Structure 1
Amino acid sequence: MYRFLLTPRWLAAAALTVAASVVMVFLGNWQLHRYHERSAINARIDAADSATAVPLTSVLVKPDTPGKVGAMPGKDKAWTKVTVTGHYDVTHEIQARGRTVDGNVGFEIVTPLVLADGTAVLVDRGWVPPQTGDATSAPVSSAPPTGEVTVVGQIHLTESRPSGISTRDGRIDTRRVSLPHLADQIPYPLYGAYVLVTDPAAGYSAIPIDHEDAWQNGGYAVQWWLFAVMALLAYGWQARKEAHGERPVKEKVDRVQAADARLTAVPSTRQPE
């Protein structure tokens, strides 16, 4: 009954179905990997609230070249709570424009913190609104404390898609905190990640840390696996229809019309009375 499955047409259909199903399974596995990856990030974000801060130097590799960025940490180091001691260098302060907090557009103020060994780490001290209602107008922010300070914050990986760098009101002005592109503006060996202050000073708003949408990836994984199963079931369903002669309606109509045409073409053998 199923010998037709060995015909070239059905063998090609079987190969295509299996190949498509394998690809869908791999896509589902990749989405599952992204689900676990994003879930781990969310777990680190949640755990950081109650975690004990560890020294910055125990998480990041010490840089050794002035004006250059040291080794960048992996994603598993993101949002680790750290503590670091040094003094702020306001002469190389950075204002990152176009940053949104609670639906309001403003600036993040990022200041180099110089450690005792001469290296530096950028510290995001928080968000401030623009000076006027215009989101592009310069912000007004209080200066950081002078002298030696100890900062507690979370590791923030460098941002991608760097933007142009300029100077405004004595500050470095940019759109994104991209360390490789900012490094040549900082005259110190710069650590490969920056620190997001968890408890900003008065006048600054804390930068919210958004959770990753891990469940979206989990849903996509299940979806791809279901597509793989459906492709195999569709092939089996078509094969069963073929085996049991369940042709499409048009094919049946064509057969009936052909039979009628043959009957009308046969001459009558009955003699007239």
Structure 2
Amino acid sequence: MNRYRFLLSPTWIGWFALCTLFAVACVFLGQWQIDRREASLEEINRIVANYDEDPVPYAEARELFDSAEAEDEWTVVELTGEYRQEDSLLVRNRAHRGSVGYEVLVPFAVAGTEEVVIIDRGWLPTDSTDGSRPESRPAPPEGQVDVIVRIRPAEPAINREAPEGQLASIDLAQYQDELGYGLLTGGYGLMAEESPAPETAPRQLTRPSLEEGPHLSYSMQWITFGLLGFIGWGYAARIHARNRDFDEAEAAMTEEAPQATTDDGGPVHAASSAPAQDRAREASRRHRLRTGRLSDEDLEDAWVDQQLHR
């Protein structure tokens, strides 16, 4: 253990503390990835549980539009009523299949009630010549319409302005303020079907992915990185201890061996002697002979010498 006493020096303690801090950071990052995986699994479970179920009548699902909870997302609901096309708004910067465009929101007056909900009819591409507006804006069916939608919770407000007639996010409270009449602002319906079907309609958003992502492998990688810090510290300590042993053995050999000289009596330069690695190996061997800690190689060499000198 004496050969590793240098580990108690401030320098090596400092390196160990740095490895510890790095490992703690890696543990937190690994846990963050695990938390993200759990959130992904919860979302997948909601999709599996709700997305393909039979539609629920609006009368039984009204509270989902008023205060939708996370577990209610993707619940299928059927409604009857009329669109209020004149009050529709666009939501800007919405992604769909690798492109950015708009989603079109239309208020929907539910038949037999005085309530109005928001329906997201789908996605519209931007105009190729003017990215500030959609390429087209198909009108919804007129008169009484039967629709099937999937519940999505309202989105929070974001600190970003939007042009007139557009929203930066599906913030239903802001939508209500712009309309001047009451809405159910807890959730909205994402279009699945409508009858009668229009000749042209916005593109329907794709089914959400059931892939959980690489979060588990990333978390394992962060834990591995934290362990590698300690492994590197231990390996560096081992190399340092071995180099110190070589230095001490070479110093002992230098004190014991006579000074080599050239033909004219001058000292032999270190560069002209054996390579440093060979000299260190010989010094280590002599140190083991002096201390009595012989390796298998030393014993074999001694046996060979004995056989040669018989």
**TM-score, with length taken from structure 1:** 0.70
Instruction: Please list, as runs of the form range in 1=range in 2, the aligned pairs for 1:1-273 lying within 5 A after superposition.
Output: 1=1, 2-54=4-56, 55-60=60-65, 62=66, 71=67, 73-97=68-92, 99=94, 101-102=96-97, 106-115=101-110, 116-128=112-124, 134-135=130-131, 136=133, 139-147=136-144, 149-158=146-155, 161=158, 163-167=160-164, 172-186=165-179, 187-199=181-193, 201-202=197-198, 203-204=200-201, 205-211=203-209, 214-243=212-241, 245-246=242-243
Matched-pair contact (CA < 8 Å) for 2:151–2:187: no
Tell me how far 1:101 sits from its aligned partner.
4.1
The CA deviation at 1:237 is 1.4
Paired with 1:84 and 1:99, the residues of 2 have a C-alpha distance of 25
CA distance in 1 between partners of 2:157 and 2:212 (Å): 21
Question: 1:216-240 deviations in whole A, cap 9, x for unaligned?
Answer: 3223212111101111211221222
Q: Deviations over 1:155-192 (max 9, x none)?
A: 2541653643454xxxx333543334323113114322
| Contact 2:72/2:151, CA 8 A, preserved across alignment | no
- What are the ranges of 5 or more consecutive residues in structure 1 without an aligned counterpart? 63-70, 265-269
Deviation at 1:206, TM superposition (A): 0.8
- Tell me the amino acid that sits aligned with residue 125 of structure 1: R
**Residues 107 and 34 from structure 1, CA distance in 2 versus in 1: closer, same or farther, beyond 3 angstroms?**
closer
Cα distance change, pair 106–17 in 1 and its aligned pair in 2 (3 A): closer
Instruction: Please say which of residues 229-238 and 195-204 is displaced more in the overlay.
Output: 195-204
Closer, same or farther in 2 for the Cα pair 1:161/1:217, shift >3 Å?
A: farther
| CA separation of 1:89 and 1:216: change in aligned 2, threshold 3 A | same
> Contact (CA 8 Å) 1:124, 1:195: kept in 2 or not?
yes
- Unaligned 5+ segments in structure 2 are 260-264, 266-310
CA pair 85-236 structure 1, distance change in 2 beyond 3 A:
farther
- Percent sequence identity over matched residues? 25
Over aligned residue pairs, what C-alpha RMSD do you find? 3.8
Give the 3-state SS of the residue equivalent to 2:214 in structure 1: helix
Q: Is the 8 A contact 1:83 1:151 kept in 2?
A: yes
When Rg is computed on C-alpha atoms for both structures, the one with the higher figure is: 2
Moved over 6 A (4+): 130-133
- Residue 24 of structure 1 deviates from its aligned partner by 0.7
AA of the residue aligned to 2:215:
N
Deviation larger for 226-235 or 86-95:
86-95
Q: Compare relative contact order (CA 8 Å, sep 6+) and give the higher one, 1 or 2.
A: 1
Greater helix content: 2
